[in-house]
Amino acid sequence: MSAARAERLVNLVLCLLSTRQYLPAERIRGIVPGYADAPSDEAFFRMFERDKTELRELGVPLETGRQSAFDTVEGYRIARGDYELGEIDLDTEEAAAVALAGSLWDSPELSGAAHGALRKLRAAGVEVDETRGSVQPRVRATEPVFGPLLAAVQAGQAVSFDHRRGGPTGEVVRRTVEPWGVVSWRGRWYLVGHDRDRADVRSFRLSRILEPIATVGRPGGVTVPPGTDLMASVRRNFDYGPVTGTARAWVPAGQAHGLRRLGTVVESRAGGDVLEIELRSERTVARWLAGAGPDVVVLSPPSLVEHVRGLWAGALAAHS
């Protein structure tokens, strides 16, 4: 299905679901974006019939009826009671995935289309009921580069930007990337694509990409290879190898919740808890522990204790 047709079907569903009236075909033609492009009445009705058939094949309960006994033309609406999902039982990971997918609708880049459709319905005199049946997640994509990068992905256009390596004080390097997608992993957004400078697939955390984003070449010049797994490209950065030992740290009661999610409480001691964390990469675990600041006391192994002390000393020197 073409992107234009898919967008038209979504707009049609929003239109028929957002009103309790039966809307005749001619009124739908003036409300739903995409139908105005039909060159003739005959072309519109053929398009509309195909869309109705498509919706019914997808299981959308499309109703036909008249607003009153005086109406001579039949109209259409979606049976809200039949369309709405029943109770759904999601586990923790599934619920997080649904919330994340819905988060894009709360971003300025994508929410405009949905709100614009409702404004057109109201302007046409259609009674819109927004209080029932709509999914309203509230998770935000706050990075300022999110919009330009997402637009580049959708346009298939390469981008160039400055990328800060390794954190706030890291080296700034210019990168030219063929963007394949923007995904979220462990609460952070990443751009995945082909890095022309490294001639390899790379992922970039959006919080480390600096504005402005410059486009390179013409739209449509970037093609995502078939079978590309964007999440796998990001996860490779977090593959720390086999477990080589166990780190032990003390955290006070009610503190360091991020560390508590990464480790296991093995005992309670002196108003806090002793955590055990799998040690795959000492460098990574040291950064986790150092980030907790005064809310952690590293107990073992000795090399990890020294590593964390070194990170704290470096932070102190950087801010002195």
| Domain closes at, from 238, 259, 284 | 238
The total number of structural domains that make up the chain = 3
Shared domain check, 260 and 231: no
Q: Give domain status of residue 134, yes or no.
A: no
The half-sphere exposure of 252 on its side-chain side, counting CA atoms within 13 A, is 5
Picking from 96, 98, 55, the residue whose alpha carbon sits closest to that of residue 78 is 55
Distance between CA atoms of residues 261 and 287, nearest Å: 15
Distance between CA atoms of residues 297 and 23, nearest Å: 67
Q: Give domain status of residue 126, yes or no.
A: no
Element (H, E) at 266: strand 264-269
Shared domain check, 274 and 225: no
Give the orientation angle of helix 41-57 with respect to helix 3-17, to 10 degrees.
80
Distance between CA atoms of residues 79 and 155, nearest Å: 36
Shared domain check, 254 and 231: no
CATH number reported for the structural domain that contains residue 62 in this entry: 1.10.10
Q: Give domain status of residue 35, yes or no.
A: yes
Q: Give domain status of residue 197, yes or no.
A: yes
| Domain closes at, from 188, 210, 238 | 238
Give me the domain span that covers residue 212. 146-238
Note whether 230 and 166 are within 8 A (CB). Answer: no
Distance between CA atoms of residues 79 and 96, nearest Å: 29
pLDDT at 136: 42
Note whether 310 and 289 are within 8 A (CB). Answer: no
Distance between CA atoms of residues 244 and 206, nearest Å: 31
CB atoms within 10 A of CB 195: 16
pLDDT at 158: 96
Q: Dihedral sign, CA of 44, 29, 109, 84?
A: negative
Element (H, E) at 172: strand 172-185
| Domain closes at, from 238, 262, 281 | 238
Give me the helices (H) in 124-223, please.
Answer: 146-155
pLDDT at 277: 93
Shared domain check, 267 and 308: yes
Q: Give domain status of residue 304, yes or no.
A: yes
CB neighbour burial string for 143-169, b if at least 16 within 10 angstroms, e if fewer: bebbebbbbbbebbbbbebebbeeeee
Shared domain check, 252 and 222: no
Q: Which two tokens stand for residue 17?
A: 């679901």
Picking from 233, 155, 147, the residue whose alpha carbon sits closest to that of residue 193 is 233
Shared domain check, 251 and 232: no
Shared domain check, 234 and 252: no
pLDDT at 122: 57
pLDDT at 300: 94
pLDDT at 217: 93
Shared domain check, 249 and 197: no
pTM: 0.43
Shared domain check, 258 and 211: no
Q: How do 209-216 and 245-252 pair as beta strands?
A: unpaired
Shared domain check, 216 and 250: no
Q: Give domain status of residue 113, yes or no.
A: no
CA 99 to chain centre: 9
CATH number reported for the structural domain that contains residue 164 in this entry: 2.30.30.520
pLDDT at 283: 85
Q: Give domain status of residue 76, yes or no.
A: yes
Burial of 19 (0-12, 13-18, 19+ CB in 10 A): buried
75-78: strand order across its sheet = 23-24, 75-78, 62-65
pLDDT in tens, the chain (320 residues): 577 788 888 888 888 887 778 888 888 888 888 888 888 989 899 999 999 888 888 878 888 888 777 777 888 888 777 766 566 565 656 655 655 555 555 555 555 555 555 555 555 555 555 444 344 444 445 678 988 998 899 999 999 999 988 766 778 999 999 999 998 877 788 999 999 988 999 999 998 999 999 999 999 999 999 988 888 888 777 666 678 899 999 999 988 888 888 889 999 998 999 999 988 888 889 988 998 888 899 999 999 999 999 999 988 888 87
Shared domain check, 152 and 230: yes
Distance between CA atoms of residues 212 and 215, nearest Å: 10
Shared domain check, 283 and 224: no
Q: Give domain status of residue 121, yes or no.
A: no
